[in-house]
Structure 1
Amino acid sequence: MSEYEIVCGESLATLRELPGHSYDALITDPPYCSGGTTSAERTSRSAIEKYVSTDSVSGLAMPDFPDQRDQRSFTIWSSIWLTETLRLVRPGGQALVFTDWRQLPAISDALQIAGWRWRGIVVWQKTSARPQPGFRNECEYVLWGSNGQLDPDHKPPFLPGVYTHPSPRGKARQHITAKPVDLMRDLVRTTRPEARILDPFAGSGTEGVPEYADIAQRRLAEIAA
């Protein structure tokens, strides 16, 4: 496995301390801030109001994290950290940013405000989404962008625009909003094998940072071993 480094800290402040053009790609899953439509809903525990705080299979309680911005402030905040990440990713490098259906317009605006070139949307179909009247919300989305023109010296494979993977369950679910490892393997195929990848939200928020940083450190150490 390639070398990795986990930094436990406030994401935006940490990004501002990193040297420019030091990464090949941005691949990240930021907080969506889309769980509540009222002030009361946005200021309650995200794990209770939006997610399931305990995995129904394993009974594993998971740390909560702040998820409380309204859509306007979410767009402004996203444009700030996306601007910082554009500075950190070299010209020709790529961005893959997760979002849901509620925040898709906001994050696409923020991506372009920050200066990324928006190149398309990848769809993740979750086979385990809850049914509901009408159409069920069984997809999340990954915005694909680049820092200017794509690297002319790198020819990635022809990849599909839709991936179908179930959400992690049981011991595989280490985070409230965990993404499937197989999906992440699919996404990184667009980068060089030796690419240095930036993920500003490996642990989300302030309250959850120490717990999730410890989880990430343990998982990566197990793989490296």
Structure 2
Amino acid sequence: MTNTYTMLHGDCMSLMPTMPEASYDAVITDPPYASGGMVTSARQEDPRIKYQNAKTQAYYPSFENDNRDQRTHLMWSVRWMEQALRLTRPGGWLMVFSDWRQVPLTSDALQIAGWQWRGIAVWDKANFSRPVTGIFRPQAEYILYATRGKRDKSKQQKGCPAGVFYAPMKMSERYHMTGKPVPLMEHLMTILPSGSRILDPFAGSGTTLVAARNKGHTAVGIELSSDYHQIATDRLGLVLPS
């Protein structure tokens, strides 16, 4: 591990309470959606079944916390978002991914947790989606963004970044079955002050930390899966403690 980029192995619900208050400028994360997979009845299936085509040749490890019912998922989301709020400085940011099914729940959760909801950005993932004949291609995922209290305009960046961002997912750069492209994560960070400190409590394969490094920020990731923690650590060139 390093002081600049650190991957912690464990449950964010256990680790976040041990961190000092207001120690991050932003929490940027892609948590489990607990969504329906290809059909609603698939909610209880393993993510490797829900989110991968049976013909997919690549192997991606599975992950936990993705098969909760709606009420339980809402309560769990509020709990980690409350911790995220405590860890973010006043005026700092939350950016959290969602699919179309869970946008209402995610917006409720962040507001219940005390965040000031600011809007939704859109990831246009082009053909990186499962088409269903006869309806519109589900080629978008969403990033709900919010601040801890009033937005700190003294630290805001100039300009107005695009709210819809096109970023195809290249299979050669995919380390996680629900991974996001590095350019997308870099785009989200364009509204952050220079040299921000970022927390990703669901770090997966470490893409948020890779983007933070590319943009000159520092970052801490938390990952429950030992498989993905190892992938992220290797990807970032970190050394696991012996």
TM normalised by structure 1 equals 0.89
3-state SS, counterpart of residue 8 of structure 2: coil
Match of 2:103 in 1: 104
3-state SS, counterpart of residue 198 of structure 1: strand
Once the two structures are superposed, the pairs formed by residues 135-174 of structure 1 within 5 Å of their partners are 135-156=136-157, 157-169=159-171, 171-174=172-175
Provide the rounded CA distance (Å) in 2 between the counterparts of 1:149 and 1:216. Answer: 33
Gaps of 5+ in 2: 206-222
Match of 1:214 in 2: 230
Could you say what the CA RMSD is over the residues aligned between the two structures, in angstroms? 2.2
Aligned length: 214
Deviation at 1:60, TM superposition (A): 2.6
Once the two structures are superposed, residues 66-114 of structure 1 have per-residue CA deviations (whole angstroms, 9 ceiling, x without a partner) of: 2110111111110110000000000010111000000000000000000
Provide the rounded CA distance (Å) in 1 between the counterparts of 2:169 and 2:54. Answer: 14
1:29 paired to 2:30: yes
Provide the rounded CA distance (Å) in 2 between the counterparts of 1:103 and 1:94. Answer: 20
Deviation at 1:131, TM superposition (A): 2.4
User: Structure 1: which 4+ aligned runs deviate by more than 6 Å?
Assistant: none
1:182 paired to 2:183: yes
Once the two structures are superposed, residues 23-59 of structure 1 have per-residue CA deviations (whole angstroms, 9 ceiling, x without a partner) of: 0001000000002544xx33331111x1117884xx3
3-state SS, counterpart of residue 100 of structure 2: coil
Is residue 54–residue 61 contact of structure 1 (8 Å, CA) maintained in 2?
no
Match of 1:52 in 2: 52
Deviation at 1:167, TM superposition (A): 2.3
Once the two structures are superposed, residues 156-193 of structure 1 have per-residue CA deviations (whole angstroms, 9 ceiling, x without a partner) of: 23111100111231x31100100011101101111122
3-state SS, counterpart of residue 6 of structure 1: strand
1:64 paired to 2:62: yes
Deviation at 1:208, TM superposition (A): 6.3
* Percent of aligned pairs with the same amino acid: 46
Deviation at 1:125, TM superposition (A): 0.9
The letter for the 1-side match of 2:152 is D
Provide the rounded CA distance (Å) in 2 between the counterparts of 1:71 and 1:168. Answer: 32
Query: Which one has a larger percent strand, Structure 1 or Structure 2?
Result: 2
C-alpha change, 1:202 and 1:53, in structure 2 (3 Å) is farther
3-state SS, counterpart of residue 175 of structure 1: coil
C-alpha change, 1:86 and 1:9, in structure 2 (3 Å) is same
Is residue 53–residue 62 contact of structure 1 (8 Å, CA) maintained in 2?
no
C-alpha change, 1:217 and 1:55, in structure 2 (3 Å) is farther
